[in-house]
Amino acid sequence: MNRLVVKHFLQVGGGQIAVVSSVAGKVGVVLSGPYSASKHALQGYFNTLRMETYGKNIHVTLICPGPVRTPIYQAAFTHQSGETTERKPLQGEISENWMTSERCAFLSLVAIANKLAETWLSKLPIIPTIYALLYLPVVSEFLTRLVFPSIVKRMKKSN
């Protein structure tokens, strides 16, 4: 569909495409392989589209929110399609560190209005964590090997 939109934008002299991805499109997320993979695909596709339309007055904005308080959480850690969970969140999983959907929408609109190429939206400590995972891969790999096995074990046990 975006190819039709780009064709239209070329005819009218420009436009903007805004895509909601996720910080999961930048780094993997525990127990969310298919979700992370789909968001990585969005990142790759729309980063390429942005490069292909440089100089044509077409702007591509990738919006990458971190954890947002929405009902998707109930289906995020299940094993079957269509299944939901009443699982109680782990300590700190859903807390004041998760954005409200209203805050996420507001920040997304700010990014679109300013024609940002990409924006990461989240409360602390998500953004610095993403930076560390991306730009300090050796250190991050060492730390995640120490920390993540216990987190995954707790998440699977609470399911």
pLDDT number for residue 29: 81
* Gap between the Cα atoms of 31 and 20, Å rounded: 21
The parts of the chain modelled with pLDDT lower than 50 are 87-88, 90-92
pLDDT in the model for residue 74:
58
Q: What is the pLDDT of residue 79?
A: 58
Give the per-residue pLDDT at 70: 78
Residues with catalytic function:
35
